[in-house]
Structure 1
């Protein structure tokens, strides 16, 4: 890197205060934000796979790709934590002797982040192909799919091969010097332009992908489960785009030469927004699939029942001592039939039902029938 050594000399001449630690660089902040959302990703994908494999029994390529995205996200998160342990979050001049290990973790985190974003986009688009069987939306989906494949191929290659040889990315002292480009931090302007190119195109593709299914809202016969799925996708998709914008902002706000090369100090904030971006993307890609199934189970737990009691009384009475009430089920029915019938029959003496006595005559009604009908709330079917 032609500008690297002069930059280090300039920082050493006026060293920054090592005790000033931004909120995004503190380990408590990073662990407290990234771990819970990563766990939510595993829960979302787990519910998605349960719905596709056990409920609707229609797994697809989009399910396999989202699993790859989740695995890449885990590898990237481990690399993020490894970089923190090696000094990421501190000014580069204070970890200069350990910079090689820090850059190795940085290399893995950057590559897996880009692969995760690509996989999430591909999973959503293959999911759209299952939803849009014909029409212009299917054509647009195919166009976006081709664009994402080309875009992902280019930036994935740039992430995993930023220098030739690759070891030149973390070993800046090798002789002869490695040939680097793009993410390889050869020059300040090139590194900045690469960041703009990737982040800007990422935001545009995310917006297009999350907006496409919103056209479903204009269908007159839209079902409730489809409304829930589209609403969840739109909400989380908006958060994904917001996190991508914040990721870009967190990088470009350090725009002067000296600060830009001090990437070990400002990079944790970028990684933090990167983690949140792909976390929400994975959740949004899975929610339309598992959410209707979750709502169905929730309805079974907190079921609302409509009860109707009908009692038929005959014209003559019998003594209260002859009263005996027996409850019996008229017929066996499945648990999801939303109908339960019970009868009360009067046959033999009993003293436990004096409340059935007529208040005027002191006598009990003759054998009669009381029928109870229970109507449960409507079931939701999972969206596959």
Structure 2
């Protein structure tokens, strides 16, 4: 009998208070509400990213493939996490002993998928950086980090997908089951595996999201670029914060051996933080790709065309611009010249009988009549 089986036997001797205070994270409404909401947002970000790369710029690359794979595996993790609620996740282990094997199957899938997703999203970000840094020191830093993260991800993914040999030993303990690492063979071994992963995961998150910081201080950045990069770093900071909270939550529940094995009670908090960490990382990796397209479309929708109005005085009257018209010629001649050739200061047009035959002579006004004409 391994330590997990022995500890469960000890827990059955001292039942926890069923009416005790229940953490907020243990309520199904919390688990469903938080997890589904941010998971949908992450898929929206991935959808915008893929649309931009496949339909707008038509330049997909490996980083797009890896972020899509990360989203798929993350979906598997979320489904398994929420599926375990029905079989006792969020309750004390001793009260779900009959459904524990089924719940452990869901826990196995969500735990393994989470560890794989964290590796995939880091690889996607580093591949994205390689498109940005074509040469220089930062490119070599990204290449070295990419190789390191790939090896780290393969190692912990193997430990998560094969915690026991055979794998069924994770949810169905037998004498032939050989468990290690995440398989909870001993508490010290499981705690050490969790701490090493959480610590290295937090370290890689911090380093990866600090690499573009050099661009932030590049001279000549426009205000919009500064705001966009500030938003990107803020999102990256949330990812690092979630990694720190996950490590803290794991430490918090590892002080007492008996309580630490009551993982069905305290693990929902860790799983919610893990889901938020991955969702924020996917959104952070996708925003720089689709955000310029979104901004351009917003401008096309909400900004009208600019119209510049200029004013130019015309020297000639409209009628003067039509010298080929008989009527216009008469008008032009009448407005500018008297039959006698004498020019006067005041003109008016009676539009009388002469107007009906196309002639609009300008009548002269003598100096005595001029004031009266002005009053009219």
TM bin, normalised by shorter chain, reads 0.7 to 0.9
Q: Which residue of 1 aligns with 2:288?
A: 288
Equivalents in 2 of 1:199, 1:228: separation in Å? 31
Q: Following TM superposition, by how much is the alpha carbon of 1:222 offset from its aligned partner in structure 2, in angstroms? A: 4.0
Q: Is the 8 A contact 1:162 1:184 kept in 2?
A: yes
Please list, as runs of the form range in 1=range in 2, the aligned pairs for 1:133-212 lying within 5 A after superposition. 133-172=134-173, 174-176=174-176, 178-212=177-211
The Cα shift of 1:221 comes to 4.2
**Equivalent position SS for 2:212:** helix
Q: For residues 2 and 164 of structure 1, do their structure 2 counterparts lie closer, same or farther at Cα, with a shift above 3 Å needed?
A: same
Q: Structure 1 length as normaliser, TM-score? A: 0.79
**In 2, are the aligned partners of 1:206 and 1:241 still within 8 Å (CA)?**
yes
Report the structure, 1 or 2, having the larger helix content.
2
Secondary structure of 1:171's partner? coil
Name 2:363's counterpart in structure 1: none
> Hey, what's the Cα distance between the residues in 2 that align with 1:225 and 1:56?
21
Deviations 1:271-297 (A, max 9, x none): 000000000000000001101111111
Provide the aligned C-alpha RMSD in A.
Answer: 2.1
Are the counterparts in 1 of residues 4 and 184 from structure 2 also a CA contact under 8 Å? Answer: no
3-state SS, counterpart of residue 309 of structure 2? strand
Q: 1:21 to 1:127 in 2, by over 3 A?
A: same
Task: Give me the whole-angstrom Cα distance separating, in 2, the residues matched to 1:233 and 1:123.
Answer: 16
In structure 2, the partner of 1:77 is 78
Deviation at 1:33, TM superposition (A): 0.6
Please tell me whether residue 236 in structure 1 is matched to residue 245 in structure 2.
no
Q: Is the 1:225–1:292 Cα contact (8 Å) retained in structure 2?
A: no
Q: Which structure has the greater CA radius of gyration?
A: 2
Which structure 1 residue ranges, 5 or more long, are not aligned? 320-360, 364-384
CA contact (8 A) 2:77 2:110 kept: yes
Structure 2 counterparts to residues 1-384 of structure 1, below 5 A? 2-19=2-19, 20-172=21-173, 174-176=174-176, 178-222=177-221, 227=226, 229-254=228-253, 255-303=255-303, 306-315=306-315
The farther-off stretch of 220-229 and 109-118 is 220-229
Report Cα offsets for 1:299-325 as digits up to 9, x if no partner. Answer: 112216544322323356689xxxxxx
Measured after TM superposition, the shift of residue 239 of structure 1 is 0.2
Once the two structures are superposed, residues 344-368 of structure 1 have per-residue CA deviations (whole angstroms, 9 ceiling, x without a partner) of xxxxxxxxxxxxxxxxx999xxxxx
18-27 or 199-208, which deviates more: 18-27
2:48 and 2:75 mapped to 1: Cα distance? 18
Structure 2 CA distance, aligned partners of 1:299 and 1:61? 30
- Matches of 1:264 and 1:21 in 2, distance apart? 13
What is the CA-CA distance between 1:268 and the residue it aligns to?
Answer: 0.7
More strand by share: 1
TM-score (norm 2): 0.81
| Distance (Å, rounded) in 2 between the aligned partners of 1:362 and 1:88 | 98
User: Deviations along 1:95-151, whole A, 9 cap, x unmatched?
Assistant: 111111111111100110011101100000000011000000000000100110110
Paired with 2:111 and 2:226, the residues of 1 have a C-alpha distance of 36
Kindly tell me: are residues 78 and 312 of structure 1, through their superposed partners in 2, closer, same or farther at Cα, counting changes over 3 Å? same
**8 Å CA contact 1:217, 1:227 repeated in 2:** yes
